[in-house]
């Protein structure tokens, strides 16, 4: 009955948003002026308005992050139509877009995070974040390896108003968060803890269930701006997850996981020139009932350079990067230590060919060390039919280097595959963006991806896993969205993503379904006086291997007591569903819980 009623609720919500989107244009004259055409940095590496970007885009502003009251970056990006994830019983997971995981470049201030390994977005709080920009489609020219389905750029706060937030709720939740600083120096801190939050993972194959006994997350960030040209940032993200394991016929055991990330960046900008030196350190330590099972660690340091020249009629951006990767893991009492040096150079031109049309052309040469070199070109055409709508075409080649951990193995259950090859692919897409009055934005995008030597995890007959290359992979899909946003009254949004991922897993094999096909996102926000109510609903369905669909609805109610004091009530998983949120099944939505918090700005 619960699943049936949830489907009815979601269907009604989506239908309601569709009807409201038609009403929006009619009632535009009655709404307050509020232009919905945000400025992005990620899509072109410099500031540009949405309608002038030849790619599918989405932005989560600070106001949107506050309306969600999201507890981690993973909770935020789960609201992107077409979002998918693969998650382990420990809660560590690979995010993805357009029906495919692990092909997404996640960055902070334009620098990719832990290229050799997934960056666990569940460890990162939103406390020190100003905005999150999403650019879908291949972006290898500007951002290199892993950017097959797009990039997510996390932009940190600088000189925002000071605030402190405390909260408590069901499942013995505790929250302490804050941000303080000025244009020269700032500090953010976030502590979050939840206990006994239900079933985490159900592995029917081996008749084992995993329960979320205790999850604790600690984040802090320090930024220093000695001048207008310099920004120095240090960030620490840490998550401890205690998981109770119940296996048929065996006593309950405890699996402890500690995931830690440290990042240091020093950025220098002078007009159109930018240089960033960075260092990243990660560690995943896990043990079973007090006995160490494995340690996975890595260190990365490098430099990223770029400059832009404005010639008569043409903008030219040129840049390059170099990175040293060190990966080390311990499993079964054996340490494995591997390294890789790689770098790249790129250029991108932007040339108007008429008053309404411009062409973007560029390429990146990637030097991947043990994976060989790769030349990745890109061509984009943007046509602005009016000042309210634009059309674009985007053709590009992408690359994904085999992570060292996948090539050489990182656990007692994963076998190494030294012969793992880099995957290469082409993406062809076209889209249309249209601003409706000053409050609405309509977007439509179609795409086709074709990848050779796709990397994926294969379960072997002995129960072990190994990363292998699938000879061929293809995915054709479409995305459509409409957003209506006003400072007061009713705002809403609807997005639907359909993809058809298929792959040939072995030479001479046949095409078979891969991962997820259908995704939908709907949101409603009503602001009246000092109060606002925000509802976010997400659906993923038509999944491979007969994995059940997932429906998740979150609600956040906010009341501004004064201009500086705010109360909010967040209810996660309102329908209290136990759907498998991972593309391969197993991983379960956290049970319904609520958090009441108070925030004071100063």
**Which of the listed ranges 67-71, 101-105, 281-285, 360-364 does the model predict with the highest average pLDDT?**
360-364
Question: Can you tell me the mean pLDDT for 51-72?
Answer: 89
Q: What is the pLDDT of residue 586?
A: 76
DSSP 122: G
Cα separation, 491 vs 67, whole angstroms:
12
Give all strands (DSSP E) within 248-372, no chain letters. 253-270, 273-288, 291-311, 314-331, 334-352, 357-367
> What percent of the chain is predicted at pLDDT more than 90?
45
- Which residue range(s) make up the domain with 578? 2-601
Residue 62 has pLDDT above 60, yes or no: yes
Among 25, 49, 46, 27, residue whose Cα is nearest residue 36: 49
Query: From its phi and psi, is residue 10 left (phi > 0), alpha (psi between -120 and 50) or beta?
Result: alpha
Q: What is the pLDDT of residue 547?
A: 83
Q: What is the pLDDT of residue 382?
A: 96
Q: What is the pLDDT of residue 31?
A: 39
More confident residue, 514 or 372: 514
Cα separation, 554 vs 420, whole angstroms:
40
Cα separation, 513 vs 456, whole angstroms:
13
Specify the number of domains making up the chain: 1
Question: What are the two backbone dihedrals, phi and then psi, of residue 464, each rounded to the nearest 5 degrees?
Answer: -75, 165
Residue 11 has pLDDT above 80, yes or no: no
Cα separation, 510 vs 496, whole angstroms:
29
Residue 271 has pLDDT above 60, yes or no: yes
Q: What is the pLDDT of residue 30?
A: 38
SS3 content of the chain, % helix, strand, coil (to 5): 10, 60, 30
Q: CB under 8 Å to 210, separation ≥6 — which residues?
A: 89, 199, 200, 201, 202, 203, 243, 244, 245, 246, 255
pLDDT in tens, 386-429: 999 999 999 999 888 888 877 876 666 778 888 888 888 999 99
**Lowest model confidence (mean pLDDT) among 146-150, 281-285, 398-402, 518-522:** 146-150
- Name the β-bridge partners of 466: 415, 458
Q: What is the pLDDT of residue 10?
A: 42
Residue 24 has pLDDT above 70, yes or no: no
Question: Can you tell me the mean pLDDT for 529-540?
Answer: 94
Question: Can you tell me the mean pLDDT for 73-95?
Answer: 80
Q: What is the pLDDT of residue 179?
A: 93
Q: What is the pLDDT of residue 321?
A: 92
Q: Counting beta carbons within 10 angstroms of the beta carbon of residue 353, is it exposed (0 to 12), middle (13 to 18) or buried (19 or more)?
A: exposed
More confident residue, 374 or 12: 374
Q: What is the pLDDT of residue 115?
A: 59
Question: Can you tell me the mean pLDDT for 244-263?
Answer: 85
Question: Can you tell me the mean pLDDT for 548-567?
Answer: 94
Cα separation, 143 vs 140, whole angstroms:
5
pLDDT in tens, 467-523: 899 999 999 999 999 999 988 899 999 999 999 999 998 888 899 888 788 999 999
**Which of the listed ranges 311-315, 463-467, 530-534 does the model predict with the highest average pLDDT?**
530-534
Query: From its phi and psi, is residue 149 left (phi > 0), alpha (psi between -120 and 50) or beta?
Result: alpha
Q: What is the pLDDT of residue 592?
A: 94
More confident residue, 83 or 251: 83
CATH for 475:
2.40.170.20
Q: CB under 8 Å to 129, separation ≥6 — which residues?
A: 62, 65, 73, 154, 155, 156, 157
Question: Can you tell me the mean pLDDT for 428-437?
Answer: 94
Residue 119 has pLDDT above 70, yes or no: no
pLDDT in tens, 189-242: 999 999 998 888 887 777 888 888 999 999 999 999 999 999 999 999 999 999
Residue 256 has pLDDT above 60, yes or no: yes
pLDDT in tens, 576-589: 998 888 776 678 88
Residue 101 has pLDDT above 80, yes or no: no
Q: What is the pLDDT of residue 411?
A: 64
């Amino acid at each position: 009955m619960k699943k049936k009623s949830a489907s009815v609720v979601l269907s009604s919500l989506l239908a309601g948003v569709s009807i409201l989107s038609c009403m929006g244009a009619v009632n535009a004259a009655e709404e307050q002026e509020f232009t919905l055409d945000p400025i992005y940095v990620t899509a072109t590496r410099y500031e540009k308005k949405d309608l002038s970007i030849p790619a599918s885009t989405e932005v989560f502003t600070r106001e949107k992050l506050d309306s969600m009251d999201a507890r981690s970056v993973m909770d935020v990006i789960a609201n992107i139509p077409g979002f998918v994830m693969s998650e382990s019983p420990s809660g560590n997971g690979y995010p993805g877009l357009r029906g495919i995981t692990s092909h997404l470049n996640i960055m902070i201030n334009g620098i990719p995070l832990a290229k050799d390994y997934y960056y666990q977005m569940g460890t990162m709080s939103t406390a020190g974040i100003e905005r999150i920009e999403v650019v879908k489609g291949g972006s290898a020219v500007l951002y290199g390896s892993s950017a097959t389905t797009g990039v997510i750029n996390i932009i940190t706060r600088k000189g925002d108003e000071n605030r402190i937030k405390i909260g408590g709720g069901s499942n013995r939740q505790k929250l302490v968060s804050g941000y303080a600083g000025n244009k020269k120096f700032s500090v953010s801190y976030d502590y979050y803890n939840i206990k006994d939050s239900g079933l985490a993972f159900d592995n029917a194959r081996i008749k084992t269930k995993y329960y979320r006994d205790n999850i604790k997350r600690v984040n802090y960030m320090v930024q220093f701006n000695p001048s207008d040209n310099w920004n120095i940032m240090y960030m620490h993200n840490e998550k401890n997850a205690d998981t109770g394991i119940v296996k048929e016929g065996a006593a309950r055991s405890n699996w402890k996981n500690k995931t830690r990330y440290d990042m240091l960046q020093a950025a220098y900008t002078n007009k159109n020139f930018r240089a960033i030196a960075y260092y990243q350190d990660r560690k995943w330590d896990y043990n079973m009932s007090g006995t160490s099972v494995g340690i996975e660690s890595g260190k990365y340091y490098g430099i990223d350079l770029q400059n832009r020249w404005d010639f008569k009629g043409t903008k030219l951006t040129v840049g390059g990067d170099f990175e040293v990767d060190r990966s080390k893991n311990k499993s079964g009492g054996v340490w494995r230590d591997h390294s890789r040096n790689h770098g790249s150079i790129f250029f991108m031109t932007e040339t108007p060919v008429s008053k309404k049309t411009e062409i973007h052309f560029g390429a990146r040469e990637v030097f991947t060390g043990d994976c060989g070199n790769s030349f990745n070109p890109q061509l984009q055409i943007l046509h602005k039919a009016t000042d309210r709508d634009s059309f674009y075409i985007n053709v590009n080649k992408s690359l994904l280097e085999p992570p060292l951990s996948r090539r050489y193995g990182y656990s007692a259950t994963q076998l190494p595959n030294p012969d793992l090859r880099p995957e290469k692919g082409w993406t062809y897409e076209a889209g249309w963006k249209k601003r409706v009055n000053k409050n609405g934005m309509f977007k439509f995008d179609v795409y086709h991806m074709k990848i050779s030597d796709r990397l994926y995890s294969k379960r072997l007959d002995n129960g072990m896993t190994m990363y292998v290359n699938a000879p061929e992979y293809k995915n054709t899909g479409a995305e459509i969205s409409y957003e209506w946003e006003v400072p007061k009254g009713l705002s809403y949004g609807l997005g639907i993503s359909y993809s058809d991922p298929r792959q040939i897993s072995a030479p001479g094999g046949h095409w078979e379904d891969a991962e997820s096909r259908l995704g939908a996102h709907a949101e409603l926000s009503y602001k009246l006086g000092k109060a606002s109510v925000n509802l976010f609903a997400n659906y993923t369905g038509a999944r491979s291997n007969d994995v059940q669909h997932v429906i998740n609805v979150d609600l956040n109610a906010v009341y501004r007591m004064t201009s500086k004091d705010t109360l909010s009530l967040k209810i996660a998983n309102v329908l209290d569903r136990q759907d498998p949120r991972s593309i391969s099944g197993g991983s379960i939505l956290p049970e319904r819980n609520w958090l009441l918090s108070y925030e004071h700005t100063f």
